[in-house]
Chains A and B, each alone.
Chain A
Amino acid sequence: MKRQLPFLLVFIFGAFMTIQYYIPHESSEFVYTFLLDWTMIIGIFALALGIWSLYQVSVEKIKHKKENWVYSYVTLFGLFIMVVLGFTFKVGDSWGLYSVFVIALMAFLYCLINASIAKSKGLWFGLSGVALVVLLGIAYFDDSWGVAFMTSEGLRNTMFTNFADFVMTPILATMFALLAFFIASAAYRAFRARNVLASLLLVSAIIVMLRFNPYMPFGLPELIAELSNWLMNVPNLAAQRAIVIGIGLGIVATSLKVILGIERGYMGKG
């Protein structure tokens, strides 16, 4: 039951989905459609696992005062603030006491996290109680904003979109922009014409890099543009096609091994 049933499930559903493609039938189509929807719902719960473990890791770090533990509060702040903003929305023209509410809620969560790990629990619980009273009071008396769980006004909350546009986007974009500098340093340090193969790679890279360069003498820009077009569409196409076919065969072979239960490592031990 513990070991065999999962593999039986893999076989049954894998074989069904494969056969369904080749022999479509009204009834199998019906099941197929349902499975597409169901699997996605199961998937959401799986994604929640990842977020829960992010929370746990951060709290553990604070608890054991591991390296850079202070920054874990920043992570938790980011996590909670987005959740709070995503479930609230503006009703009237102004936000009223919304910002006080958000601060009180953050303070409440801060105290609660500390209460769960600190030794002097009473103090933190007391403080969190105060914060709770404040935030519930505001939530009850302030009508300029509302809370929505089952409707998605929160997604249009400007505070929520601002956090996405001006906090999440710039940092992620910049983190990847650092790669521009690392590739420059790699070009300087590692890109050597050590042998014929490396030289071939170097020459084709330089041709592709120069193809939109208009400032070259003797009609070179046209020649380079044509040459790089040829490189992309002939040798590159051939090389990538070999890789695509190789990967395709790899996926099919691995999938078959998984369905037939030959490959079992993905389930882990135990």
Chain B
Amino acid sequence: MEFSDFLWMTCGIFLTLATFSFLYKDNPFYKFAEHLVVGVSAGFTIIVLWHGTLVPNLFQKLEDGNWFMLWLNSSEWWYVVPAVLGLLMWTRFSKKYSWVSRWPMGLYIGISTGIAIPLEMSNRVNKQLYAMMVEIDWANFFGGNILSTTSGFAQLLIFLGTIAGLVYFFFSKEHKGVFGGVATFGIWILMIGFGASFGYTVMARVSLFINRMQDTKAWGVEAFNASDVANPHYSSMYPIVFYLLVAFVVGYIIKEIMDHLKRKNA
């Protein structure tokens, strides 16, 4: 790894530690990282939208037109229409004309709701209902194992559980009597589902921290590999940068501890 790449990597680790410092308390390093990332990701989006969307999907379509003809003389002149509609969106900044921005909004909302109705109905509702209403395998009810996921028992439980879950979400009728009983079974099933979700969520969150540790370790490994004479990029600058950052972090921690003790004694 080149030294400049290593410096970039060090920058990444510094920002990682700066962000983690929030766990102790809000501080200038965290604020710096937080504000920086907002700007950088917005800038990244601008560039990706420009190069990835505006240029190929709009500018290049109108390339052979002339600006003084408002590009209406280009071979695919109809691309002027969405551009104009898009520009109308910007009337939102004016109090007087902001109503104009509703036209393109109307078009967008119409299209997105229009495509949603048939596809959501068929894929979220119908296909799930088909899958739910399978013929129950009575002959193989326990399938030799009560924890089988394909036995008749499992099929029945899925069927009843789904119905009960739907009943629980039906608030137009009071949850009393048999209906209430079914709804109670429904909430039980839902709670088991949420529990499973929570179990997975714990794993998800811990993964995020593991990733940061892995990056930090990779940085440390890189620093010490390059201090090995056999390395093609041999330089003692690598560990020096490493120790500088470590010293900085340790220094910051000591300062915080001193401050804490001072406050306690005062």
B-binding residues in A (CB < 8 A): 2, 5-18, 20-22, 34-35, 37-52, 54, 58, 68, 71-72, 74-83, 85-87, 149-152, 154-155, 160, 162-183, 187, 197-198, 200-209, 226-249, 251-252, 254-256, 258-259, 266-267, 270
With a CB–CB cut-off of 8 A, which chain B residues contact A182? 205
With a CB–CB cut-off of 8 A, which chain B residues contact A173? 16, 208, 211-212
Tell me whether A12 and B110 are in contact (CB under 8 A): yes
With a CB–CB cut-off of 8 A, which chain B residues contact A10? 106-107, 109-110, 113
CA distance A248 to B145 in the complex (A): 34
CA distance A247 to B98 in the complex (A): 33
With a CB–CB cut-off of 8 A, which chain A residues contact B148? 230
Tell me whether B118 and A229 are in contact (CB under 8 A): no
Q: Report if B192 contacts A (CB, 8 A).
A: yes
Instruction: Indicate the member of A8, A208, A243 with the most B CB atoms within 10 Å.
Output: A208
Q: How far is the CB of B241 from chain A (nearest CB, A)?
A: 14
Which stretch, B64-72, B81-89, B223-231, B242-250, touches the partner chain A?
Answer: B81-89
Q: Report if B34 contacts A (CB, 8 A).
A: yes
Interface size on B, residues (CB 8 A): 121
Tell me whether A44 and B46 are in contact (CB under 8 A): no
Tell me whether B55 and A82 are in contact (CB under 8 A): no
Tell me whether A204 and B16 are in contact (CB under 8 A): no
Instruction: Indicate the member of A37, A170, A175 with the most B CB atoms within 10 Å.
Output: A170
Tell me whether A179 and B208 are in contact (CB under 8 A): yes
Q: Report if B261 contacts A (CB, 8 A).
A: no
With a CB–CB cut-off of 8 A, which chain A residues contact B90? 45, 48-49
Contacting A168 at CB < 8 Å: which of B8, B44, B85, B190?
A: B44
Tell me whether A235 and B161 are in contact (CB under 8 A): yes
CA distance A266 to B238 in the complex (A): 55
Closest A residue to B121 using CB positions: A252
Tell me whether B57 and A37 are in contact (CB under 8 A): yes
Q: Report if B263 contacts A (CB, 8 A).
A: no
Contact with A along B92-118 (1 / 0, CB 8 A): 110000110011111111111111111
Contacting B86 at CB < 8 Å: which of A41, A76, A175, A245?
A: A41
CA distance A154 to B153 in the complex (A): 59
Known: A81-B43, A168-B40, A241-B132. Is A15-B114 also a contact (CB below 8 A)? yes
With a CB–CB cut-off of 8 A, which chain B residues contact A82? 39-40, 42-44, 46-47
Nearest 3 A-B pairs (CB), nearest first? A82-B43, A78-B39, A17-B114
Contact with A along B108-148 (1 / 0, CB 8 A): 11111111111111011100110110000000000000011
